[in-house]
Each structure stands twice: as C-alpha cells, then as structure tokens.
Amino acid sequence: MAKLDIENISHAYGTKEVIENLSLTVEEGQVACLLGPSGCGKTTLLRLVAGLTSLQSGRIRLDEKILSEPVSGIETPTEKRNVGFMFQDYALFPHLDVLQNITFGLHDPSPEKLAEIQRAMIQMDIVELTDAYPHTLSGGQQQRVALLRALAPLPRLLLLDEPFTGLDISLRAQVREDTLRLIKQMGVTTLMVTHDPQEAMYMADHILIMRNGKVEQGGSPREIYQFPATEFAARFVGQTNILQGIVLSTGYDEVMTSIGPVPCLSMRDLEFGTDAFISVRPESFEIDPNGPFGAKICTIRYVGQSILLEVEIIDEIGKGHRLKMRVHPNLRVDEGEEIRFRIMPDFVTVIEDPLDD
Amino acid sequence: MGSWCFEKDSNFCNWYGMSAGAGFHIEASPRLTSKWLQLDFWTGGALLLAFFIALPLLSVGFFALQPSGDIWHHLITTVLSRYVLTTIGLMLGVGVGTLVIGTCTAWLVTLCQFPGRRIFEWALLLPLAMPAYVVAYVYTDVFEFAGPVQTLLRDIFGWESSREYWFPEIRSLGGAIFVMTLTLYPYVYLLARVAFVQQSVCILEVSRTLGKTAWQSFISIALPSARPSLIIGVSLVLMEALNDFGTVDFFAVETLTAGIFDVWLNMNNLSGAAQLAVVALCFVLLLLWAERKSRTNQRYFNTSTRYQALPSYQLRGVRLLGATISCLLPIGFGFILPSCVLGYYAWGFYEESISHNFYSNLSNSLVLSSLSATLSVLAGIFLAYGVRLKENTLLKSTARFASIGYAVPGAVLAVGVLIPMGKVDVFIQGFLNNVFGISTGLFFSGTIAAVTYGYLSRFLALSYGTMEASLLRITPNMDGAARTLGLGPGRTLKRIHLPMIRGGILAAAILVFVDTMKELPMTIILRPFNFETLATHVHQLASDELLEESALGSLSIAAAGLLPVIYLSRTIRGARPGAEK
Amino acid sequence: MFAALNGAKCTKRFFGISMFLILAMFAMDKTTAIAGEVVNLYSYRQPFLIKPILKAFTEKTGIKTNVVFAKKGMLEKIKATPGAADAVLTSDVGRLHDMDAAGVLQPINSNALEQNIPSAYRHPKGHWFGLTMRARIIFASKKRVNPGGITRYEDLADPKWKGKICTRSGKHVYNVSLFASIVAHSGEAKAKKWLMGLKSNLARKPGGNDRAQAKAIHAGECDLALANTYYMAKMATNKKKKVQREWAKAVYIVFPNQKDRGTHVNISGAAVAKHAKNRKNAVRLIEFLSGEYAQKLYADQNYEYPLKTGVTIHPLVASWGKFKADTINLAEVANQRATASKLVDQVDYNNFRPSN
C-alpha cells in the first residue's frame, strides 16, 4: 500500500478553472474522502490521479514514485500506475460475464488467486453470479462486481467515484458496510469522492471538504463535525446555527453574542475583543428549566432518534433569532411553548467569517 | 454527479458535428514532452493515415487551383444556376424521401407488431444491393412512352400520341428523385433502426405516462433521440445523390455532377470540373455546418444501462393495412420490380449474358469488395479510436475531411487517386531502374492497389462514420476502467472496444462491401489491364445499349449483396443489449 | 497502411485476412507476371467489339494484348502513369484531339498506315489514325415522313417539324460532335440559332440512347431523330430482340446534306502513347487494325464504314446506298467541341419542356 501526495495541482477546462492549487495527502492504508457539491472538481481530481486526464500543473506522487509532473514532462500512463478505479456508473464490460469482468486486470491468474477472488465473491454475496452478464445484475450487484474488479489486481491505491449514489437507500447501508470491510481488510489506500456527508462520515478516516476546486477543510469526521472551519463546511456536513459575537476572554472561552454569552470549545486563538462568528450545532443545546436562555418553540419535527426543534429567541434589542436544536426524543413539548435551555461548548466553534454570498 | 463540468463544450461534437461528442479523451501517454509534437503512436499514426486517405481529395483540390479559362463566365451566364437549383431539388427530394421512408419503416418494424414484420425487417434493406443506375435503366424501360405501362394505357384508352394524355416523364428530376430515393433509403432505414433498437424504453415510457400517444411519442421523443443516426443516414444519402453520375446522366438531369462531367469531358477542362466539384462539396459542408449549428449543446449518451424488451404496438385494421403497404411499396419498387424485370431479361438472354469469364468477374468483384471492406473498416477503426484517445483538432479535421471523398463523383476522385499514385509509381520505377537496373511495370497503378486505394478514399465516410458512432455509444468510463486495470490503448481497443462494437464493424464492412460491388467509375478508371468485375461488365454492355444482356450481371451484383444485407439485419436485432441473439 | 495494421494490434485473424487479401491483390495482377511481347491498350471502345480483332492479332503476331476499357479519365490516366499504356483506341475523334492537345501522343511514320487510311482521316503528322467511320444520320418515320421530306441538318430547325423530333442528350459526345461540325461550317451565331430551332421542334426532353430514338419513332412519340448509322444495322439484325427489328422497320435512314457539304461523320481511331514502352508492337497493332482483315471485321461485326479503300462494307449497310461524307478536317470539328457544348448550355437544350 502506498501514500498519495498531491501537491499544488491546478486544472482548467478551457478557461474554466476546475481545480486551483490543491494539495492533499492520503496516508498509507487510509480511507480519505473528498466531500463536496456537484461540479466542484472532485471527479476531475480522481481522473487526474488515475491519469485519465493529464495533469496541467503541480505534482502527484504515490510514495516516492512521481505519477504526474508536467514541469518535468512526467506522465505515467494510466495502465502503469497500478491504481484501481471504480466509476460511478460502474462501467462493467457488457460483453464479459461477472468472473471475466473481475479477473479482467489479471494476467493468467493462478489457482490461488482465483480461490482468493472466489472467497471475496462469497464475502460480497455475488458468487452465484459468476456466469451472469452485467445487464442482468441489480445495481447493488453491479457495484460489488465493479469493486472486486478494481481490487482484484491489488492496486496500490483505490479510487472510488460516488460509489453508492446509484443504489437504493435501503441497499446503501449494507453495501457501504461490505465495501468498507473489504477495503479495510485489504488495507488498500483509498480516495473516494462523494457529495453525501453521511457517506463520507461513515466511510472515511479523513475527510476533505472541497469547494470550487479547493480543499476547504480536512480532518477526521469528528474534527469536521465538531470544529468546522467555515460556514460552508459547517453547513455541508450537517445543520448549524451561525451567530456573530465578540470574543469575551480567551481564558473563559466565551463569545458574547446578541443572545448572550455562548461557551465555545474552539476559539482558534482569537484575542479578547475580536469580532467572531461561531457555529453552534443543534446538538449543543440542553433543555434546562434553569438555563440562561429562553425561547419560544416554532416548529417540532419528530424524526425518531431525536426531535428537531426550531425556536425563536429574542435578543436584548428585541430582535428575534431562529435556532435549530436537537433534543432527546423523550421530550414532550408543544408549538408555541416557552422553554429554557443552556448551551454546551462541545459543538460550538469559531469559524471564519461567513462569505457574503 | 449527473453532468461533467466540461460536458457543455460544443467542440466535442465529432464527425461533422453530427454525432454525439465523446466527453472524455483517454490520454494515450507516454508522449514527447515538446508541446508542438505531442504525437504518440495513435495520434500520429491516425494523422498519417487520414492524410494518406485524403490525398486524392487534396489532388482534386490542387486541380481546382489551376486556371480554368473563361469557364466560370460561361457557367454563370448559362447553366450554373440550373445546376445548383437542380442539385438542391435533387438533394431535397431524395433527402426528404429517404428520411420519411427510412424512418417510418424502421419505426414500424421495430416497434409495431404486424404479420410479415420479421420479413420486412431484412427485406427493407434489399434495395441497398441494387445499383441505382441499373434501376434507372429498368424504370426507363418500364415507364417511358414506348414502355409497357404507357403502351397499355394507350391501348386501353385509344390514345395515339403523348399529347392526348399526361404521364409523368421518367427521364426527369422527378424520375431521378424516385429512383435514388428507392435505392438509397436503406441507409436511413438501417441507421434509424439501429437507433430505435438501442434506445432506452424508459424515455418512451416517460413520454407515454406524460399523456402522449404512441404517435406523439415517436415524433417528440424517439425521433429527436435518434437524430444523430438519422443525420448520418441522410448525409450518406445526400452525398450519394450528389456524387451520382450514372442515373442523372441517363435521365439527362443537370445536376452539378452532370455539369462536372460536361466541363471535364466535353469542354476538356479538368480544372474547371474540379472547381465545380469543390462547389458541390461546399453544399455538403454547408449542410453539415447548419446541422451542427442547430444542435450545439446536445449530446446523446445512452443514459440507462438497463433495458427492457421494447414495447410493441399490435396493429389492426386500417393501421395494419397502412403499415403493410408502407413497407411493401419501397421493397416492391426498389427491389422486387427491378429484379423481376432483370430476371425476365436475364432469362431470355442467358446465353448472351453468361460470358465465359462470368466467374472470374464474380470472383474479382468479391475479392475487391472484401479487400475494400476490410481496409476501410481497419482504417475507420484506427481513425475513430485515434480521435477518441486524444482530442486533437488537426486529426479530427483531417479525418473529417478525408471522409467527404464520399460526396465527390467517383470518376473525379479516381483522377485524384491517379496523380499521387502515378507519382509514386514513376518514382519507384525510376529508383529500381537506376539502382538495380530493373525495369518493372507500374507497381501500384498496374495492380489493384490503385483501385483499392480509391475505394478506401471513397468509402471512408461509411466506415469512419459508423465506427465513430459505435465508439460514441461506449461510455469513456469503459476506457478508464480498462486502463486502470492495466491495459494500454491497443489492448483496450482489442479487448473492450472491438468486441463491443462488433455489430458496428460488421455493419460498416457490409455497407462498404455492397457499395464496392456496385461501384463503377473508380473501378473503371483505376483497374489494371484485363480486369473485369461484375459492375464493369454490366457497364460495358449497358454502355452499348445492351440492357438485356447486362441483366444477369446486374442481378449477380444484387445477389452478392443480398446475403450480407440479410445478415446485417440479423445483427441489428441482436444489437440491443440483452437481446436474444 | 501497414503501420496502421500493426499498430491496431487487431486480432491475428483480422490481420491474416488482410494479408491474404493483399496477396490476392498481387496474385490477381495478370499483366506484370507475364513476360514476352505485349502491347498495352487503353480503349474507349468496348472490349467485346475489339476482342475478336485483338485475338486475331495475337494469333498472327504472337503479341499479347492487355486492355483496359473506360470512357472517362483515360487522358488523366495516361498523363499520370506514363509508360503504362502503349496505344489508345477511341470511338470518337474528339478524344484523339484532346490527347494530342495534351501532348501524350507521339507521331508515327508508317507506310502501311499512310496507304491504308485516307489523309482526311488521319493526323497530318501521324499523331493519330482513323480506323473506321460512322455517319450521324437522321432517322425518319416510314409512316409519317415522306421520302425527301427532310434533306438537311438545317431543316431540323424548320418550324414545320415542331413537336416531331427526338434526340438523345445534347451533351452526348455524338451530338456535340455534330453540333461542332455545324459551328465549324456556319459559325457560332448561326449554329446557335439552328440549335434553338431544333430545340423548339423537340417532342420530348432529350434523353435515352440512339436506339431509344428509333423506339420513340416506332411508338409514335416523334417522327425524326438523330442517330449513328451502325445502330440502325444493329437493331435491324438483332436476332433475339424482335422489338428492335420492329423499331428499325419503323424508320428509314436519311443521309443529310447530300447536295452540299455532305453528312457529318465521325471516326474511331488509334494512336500511340508518347511514353509507350512497346512502341513497335503498338505500331504493328494499329497497322493490323487498318489492314484488310481487321477492317473487314469492323465492317461485318460493328456495321461501320471501313476507312481502308477497297474493303467491302456490310451488305445491309451497303443497301442504304452510298453517301457523300462531309470532308471538313475532323480536327477542325474537334476544335469546336467546347463551343458546341457551351451552345447547348446557352440554348438550354436539355431542359426542353413540351408545351401543350
């Protein structure tokens, strides 16, 4: 397995810049996930790594081996990179059966290798489809064939392009679990792209939030969720409340907002008196009759594992602020009811100034 | 990720812009570092090949650059406007005619259920095997004043002269449109059928659920989505109509092509003729440009990977009758009637027609046609794959340019072949003579190499067009998958593309085969000494007004095209992914 | 090409087939393999017309003949592949003239040819030689045209024949040649006027071949037509096609302009190519073609008028009577072909529409 280094790469189609000076690293055996909305350059990045699109500037390395570096004229052909690629549409070869598809990348597979593949097929529950042709398979089956095909030649790096988007919701969880288990079992370094934060959180050791051709924030799923660096990152991986305030004191870790002082776990070393925006996750709120904050419930959404409330809180100058909060499903409240609560600092973080757009 | 960021770029539209564009180009690295010479084996090789095939066209262009005297003054003051109008009329008539017949019959046999459908499926292709000039001879015999139809009418009604009644004149623009429509509509039928067979049912069903009738769905959904194929079909037809000389000459219809020959042969002005040929080519280019303009941002990848059986509408009553007649008419007039007339002649003149070298003529025809089909398809694959591998504007435009040879009259293109080939021959001859003291014959122009080269240059449109359209139906991710699994471009072509476009390869090979069987002007000019094919044999007799004696030869041409054509039809039915083979 | 084949790494089968076909291509080449005395011919005349004569030539001299027949592109082929052809056979003086003008012919000094062919029918410097002659005559309906009813080409423009004349395309080489002779005799302006008159007398849009004109007269579509002499004979003697004999029976031949310049004639001829590799053999062939034996064959099989004096013409052809041929130098006529062809455009000859 190998470590992938992407250094300062840029890519444009015509005049449209799709990737701008982007760098990232995927550690050996790690599952990294590029998360971002459609059209942000994620797929292009995968294609650049695979060599399916030639790099315009920057450098891509797999361990010490340079895959692409336009400056020195290096552009290893795709077929010599030893990367596995699973396409969003799976791209199964329609004229080959399942086993032929899976063994496509192997030259004269040994009996042991075939046995190994057979075991993987059993594990992925597609062993009875050996002789079937792709068009007779369901989406989930196709996905698993495509995954095994990409993994069969034991690639040093696995690239997954939206691996689960084509699947029914009901199938997804299972396929996701199977896929992850197989990848981890093989220990292959993996870079996947998705626009689904749930999927990214579930699969990835390391998440990279991409926006407009740049990495907005990278980190473990916990870091990303607990300490989003920007409003975009915060909103992309879940719901949040953005509040503006002034840093009260680095010692107390509180931000004075218009609704009052909010405790904050990550101050990003801002100094006393600085203007700051904070992201307050809906999980930060705790119902407490003695809490410092009071608000009126506007809407109630019961979703099983929790209740999502939208409340209105009136600040000092009488202006209303809407807050989203997630509370325990046991709570029985009605719309219009007044509640009191406090804010826990664990899911509150200072973010960069939100953009105007 | 429904759409790629750069999918909207209209530059990706390939092949005169008539087919859907390939979104991605899979790089065929490694390559030279120089920015100017980013030519790997595939791009460079394809570029060379395209140039080689375009050479005859270039030499026609070279002639056009020579001074041609006052010919344009004469043409402009007298016939040019009529040539142009007649040509437009012919192209319009034949274009609309073949489009209507080809599309409707393809739709009927693909999506409707009625007795005889399975037979119509292949029978509708039969007129493809009939040379247009032969059909022109036959219909003149049948429909002219002295022919059986008018004679019968006169006998019945007691008319004496042609002034007493009206009967359409077969030797006219209308007659030419009639004959060409009948012999050329199979191109449109073929491509429309392939498109209908391969289309996703889903979009049709969506249309039905949105409250459209079957007919409305056809008009608003099936037709537009089959548009790239229809366009290719119609442009092949138009190019054929444009380059035809046999039919228009026989009917004395003054198209640009007739004018080209007049200027060339009667006024002994080759450069003037070449200039007219360039004007004719402008027609094609204009047409293709207009078509491209009209659909800049559309693209046509297959969206669904899953297929269900095509729905089929059971026809009854008037509709059944209408469908049957619609399919019967083109077959009847395009194939059955001409073959019956020819059969009748051949029967009566068997001894005269079965010359002692009939079999050698037949084998010459078959060998030439197979050779031409094989080489054209190989060249078509190489070029189309080269274009697919890397976006290279020069390569693409050269390949595109090389394939408009189809629109040039055969005899003119043949002269274009003669020049470079003669030069090479003279060079080789001189070289061998000087260095080794050997005096040889003319290496290329003395063998069937010349005529084969001519066919390659003429029929590239058929093979390249079909290959490119077939390749476009394969998502670029297939290439990507194969490449990431360790296959180079060559092995990817062999293991992925070739098996997947087998149907297209076969279709292209058969089209070229059948067209070569019929091909006349190039064969005549470029063949070596003492070399006869069925077509030249037919021509030889027909040019001495011995239609009856040539009938057997004409029938043999049709018969030789018959089996491949039927086979072709069967492969289309199997072209639907998951169809029963 | 071969690089392309290799590079495509197409399946071995594909490659094998192509190799086979390419080998077949050379195997089928019948000319280069055979050594010995040969003469290579480019012919505008159909092989079956000249085959018996060429066969006799080979039998007599041991020289093998290689022929390729085409009606278009010969000149360009001779130019592009010098040395490929030794001699050219044409069915029309115009082609000989064009080739001579293009400088692809060479002069021949041959006593035999000069003796056999009258000087009016060969190039003054021996660039080409006529072999046979045919006349462009008028077919007249036996039923509807009295003998003596038409005597001159010029009469064809007489309004009394309105709607009564059929011709093939005005652009056909036979008609262009006739029109060129009118231009040569009467000048462009008169010729144009005549052509307009002829056009307005047409019964139908020009088209079909010479036989078809007789067919049209037989069917009553028109009364007069232009045709070459030998077609009459070919129809009249057609064993198998009874209808053609009937067409022939419906018409009689008028040799026009007997009282003045004579009937327009054209020749079939031969010439030696400039870069001929087998020049001697080519000359021998042309001499043979002008000789008694070949001339008799031309006369008997194709019903043409032999140019060698003393060779008997076919009895059927003889039965039409002797005629006075236009003695104008054929090269002069050939010179006017482009003009004639342009006149056809100017009067819009082929675009005739019958007006009821």
Q: C and A: touch, per 3+ CB pairs < 8 A?
A: no
CA distance linking residue C342 with residue C316, whole number of Å? 37
Which H or E run contains B436? helix B410-436
- Residue C40 sits at the chain B interface (C-beta within 8 Å): yes
Contact partners of B by the rule of 3+ C-beta pairs under 8 A? A, C
* Residue from the list B31, B479, B577 with its beta carbon closest to the beta carbon of A135: B577
| Residue partners of B368: CB distance under 8 A and separation at least 6 | B448, B451, B452, B455, B516, B523, B533
- pLDDT at site A109: 86
Residue B524: pLDDT band by 50, 70, 90 thresholds?
Answer: confident
For residue range A225-261, list pLDDT tens digits in order.
988 888 888 888 888 898 888 888 656 678 888 888 8
Higher pLDDT, B266 or C215: C215
Mean pLDDT of chain C: 86
Say which CATH superfamily domain C38-133+266-312 falls into: Periplasmic binding protein-like II (3.40.190.10)
- DSSP-assigned letter for residue B145: T
Note whether A69 and A96 are same-domain residues: yes
Contacts of B6 in chain A (CB under 8 A): 13-14, 16, 18
Is there a contact between C31 and B268 if contact means CB atoms under 8 Å apart?
no
Is there a contact between A104 and B485 if contact means CB atoms under 8 Å apart?
yes
- pLDDT at site C21: 60
> Can you give the C-alpha Rg of chain C in angstroms?
23
For residue B474, pLDDT over 70 is answered with yes
For residue range A322-335, list pLDDT tens digits in order.
999 999 888 888 88
β-pairing verdict for A206-211 and A31-35: parallel
Is there a contact between B371 and C218 if contact means CB atoms under 8 Å apart?
no
- pLDDT at site C355: 67
| Chain B interface disruption, residue of C30, C41, C58, C72, most B CBs within 10 A | C72
Percent of chain A with pLDDT over 70: 97
- pLDDT at site B206: 64
* Residue from the list C32, C342, C354 with its beta carbon closest to the beta carbon of B446: C32
Note whether A179 and A298 are same-domain residues: no
Residue B6: pLDDT band by 50, 70, 90 thresholds?
Answer: very low
**What is the domain count for chain A?**
2
Note whether A197 and A243 are same-domain residues: no
| Residue ranges of domains in chain C | 38-133+266-312, 134-264+324-351
For residue B211, pLDDT over 70 is answered with no
Distance in Å, alpha carbon of B504 to nearest chain C alpha carbon: 15
Distance in Å, alpha carbon of B19 to nearest chain C alpha carbon: 23
Higher pLDDT, C34 or C270: C270
Percent of chain C with pLDDT over 70: 90
Is there a contact between C98 and B250 if contact means CB atoms under 8 Å apart?
no
- pLDDT at site B176: 92
**A2-29 mean pLDDT:** 90
- Structural domain includes residue A72: yes
* Residue from the list C80, C218, C219 with its beta carbon closest to the beta carbon of B418: C80
Contacts of C34 in chain B (CB under 8 A): none
For residue C128, pLDDT over 80 is answered with yes
Residue A61: pLDDT band by 50, 70, 90 thresholds?
Answer: very high
CA distance linking residue B26 with residue B34, whole number of Å? 19
For residue range A276-309, list pLDDT tens digits in order.
888 999 999 999 999 889 899 999 999 888 999 9
Distance in Å, alpha carbon of C104 to nearest chain B alpha carbon: 14
- Report the candidate in A32, A46, A35, A85 with the shortest Cα–Cα distance to residue A194: A35
Is there a contact between C70 and B494 if contact means CB atoms under 8 Å apart?
no
Contacts of C73 in chain B (CB under 8 A): 411, 414-415, 418, 521, 524-525
Distance in Å, alpha carbon of B419 to nearest chain C alpha carbon: 5
Contacts of C67 in chain B (CB under 8 A): 529-530
| CB atoms inside a 10 Å sphere around CB A319 | 10
**B512-524 mean pLDDT:** 89
- Residue C55 sits at the chain B interface (C-beta within 8 Å): no
**B51-55 mean pLDDT:** 92
- pLDDT at site C9: 41
For residue range A68-115, list pLDDT tens digits in order.
999 988 888 888 899 999 998 888 998 889 999 999 988 888 999 999
Q: Is the dihedral of CA C289, C292, C293, C295 positive or negative?
A: positive
For residue A347, pLDDT over 80 is answered with yes
For residue range A17-28, list pLDDT tens digits in order.
889 888 999 999
Chains B–C, number of C-beta pairs less than 8 Å apart? 235
Contact partners of A by the rule of 3+ C-beta pairs under 8 A? B
- Structural domain includes residue A288: no
Residue B27: pLDDT band by 50, 70, 90 thresholds?
Answer: very low
Is there a contact between A95 and B500 if contact means CB atoms under 8 Å apart?
yes
The two structure tokens encoding residue C275: 């870069």
| CB atoms inside a 10 Å sphere around CB C280 | 13
Note whether A184 and A305 are same-domain residues: no
**C305-319 mean pLDDT:** 90
- pLDDT at site B97: 95
| Chain B interface disruption, residue of A43, A52, A74, A142, most B CBs within 10 A | A52
**B284-306 mean pLDDT:** 60
* Count, residues in chain A: 357
Percent of chain B with pLDDT over 70: 82
Percent of chain A with pLDDT over 90: 39
Burial class (CB in 10 A: 0-12, 13-18, 19+), A63: middle
Single out the residue in A198, A217, A232 at which a domain terminates: A232
Regarding the domain delimited by C134-264+324-351, which CATH topology (the fold level of the hierarchy) does it fall under? D-Maltodextrin-Binding Protein; domain 2 (3.40.190)
| Residue partners of B265: CB distance under 8 A and separation at least 6 | C72, C173
The 10 Å CB-count burial string (b at 16+, else e) for C46-81 is bbbbbeebbeebeeeeebbbbbbbbbbbbbbbbbbb
Cα–Cα distances (Å) from A203 to A142, A239, C98, in that order, read 20, 20, 83
Report which listed range, B243-252, B270-279, B420-429, is most confident: B270-279
Note whether A143 and A262 are same-domain residues: no
| Chain B interface disruption, residue of C66, C69, C215, most B CBs within 10 A | C69
- Reported ipTM: 0.82
CA distance linking residue C253 with residue C127, whole number of Å? 34
Is there a contact between B266 and C176 if contact means CB atoms under 8 Å apart?
yes
Residue range of the domain that includes A43? 4-232
**B362-381 mean pLDDT:** 92
Cα–Cα distances (Å) from B453 to A341, B175, B395, B420, B523, in that order, read 87, 33, 20, 11, 11
Distance in Å, alpha carbon of A238 to nearest chain B alpha carbon: 20
Contacts of B77 in chain C (CB under 8 A): 346
For residue range B145-192, list pLDDT tens digits in order.
777 888 888 888 888 766 677 788 788 889 999 999 999 999 999 888
Q: In this structure, which CATH number among 3.40.50.970, 3.40.50.1370, 3.40.50.10260, 1.10.3720.10 belongs to the domain B39-59+356-581?
A: 1.10.3720.10
**C80-100 mean pLDDT:** 88
Residue A193: pLDDT band by 50, 70, 90 thresholds?
Answer: very high
Is there a contact between B27 and A75 if contact means CB atoms under 8 Å apart?
yes
* Residue from the list B9, B478, B488 with its beta carbon closest to the beta carbon of A93: B478
Residue C15: pLDDT band by 50, 70, 90 thresholds?
Answer: low
- Structural domain includes residue A34: yes
- Residue B162 sits at the chain C interface (C-beta within 8 Å): yes
Higher pLDDT, B474 or C166: C166
For residue C27, pLDDT over 80 is answered with no
* Residue from the list B4, B484, B496 with its beta carbon closest to the beta carbon of A50: B484
Is there a contact between B27 and A149 if contact means CB atoms under 8 Å apart?
no
Contacts of A135 in chain B (CB under 8 A): 305-307, 577-578
CA distance linking residue B12 with residue B43, whole number of Å? 17
C224: helix, strand or coil: strand
- Residue B84 sits at the chain C interface (C-beta within 8 Å): no
Residue B355 φ/ψ region, left for φ over 0, alpha for ψ in the -120 to 50 degree band, beta for the rest = beta
Distance in Å, alpha carbon of A303 to nearest chain B alpha carbon: 28
| Chain B interface disruption, residue of C29, C175, C355, most B CBs within 10 A | C29
Distance in Å, alpha carbon of B187 to nearest chain C alpha carbon: 26
Distance in Å, alpha carbon of B7 to nearest chain A alpha carbon: 10
Note whether A208 and A272 are same-domain residues: no
Contacts of C74 in chain B (CB under 8 A): 525
| Chain A interface disruption, residue of B485, B494, B496, most A CBs within 10 A | B485
| Chain B interface disruption, residue of A53, A72, A78, most B CBs within 10 A | A78
Contact partners of C by the rule of 3+ C-beta pairs under 8 A? B
Is there a contact between C72 and B524 if contact means CB atoms under 8 Å apart?
yes
Distance in Å, alpha carbon of C259 to nearest chain B alpha carbon: 30
CA distance linking residue C48 with residue C71, whole number of Å? 15
* Residue from the list B145, B161, B446 with its beta carbon closest to the beta carbon of C84: B446
Mean pLDDT of chain A: 88
| Residue ranges of domains in chain B | 39-59+356-581
User: Worst-scoring range by mean pLDDT, B327-336, B572-581, C93-102, C165-174?
Assistant: B572-581
Distance in Å, alpha carbon of B568 to nearest chain C alpha carbon: 19
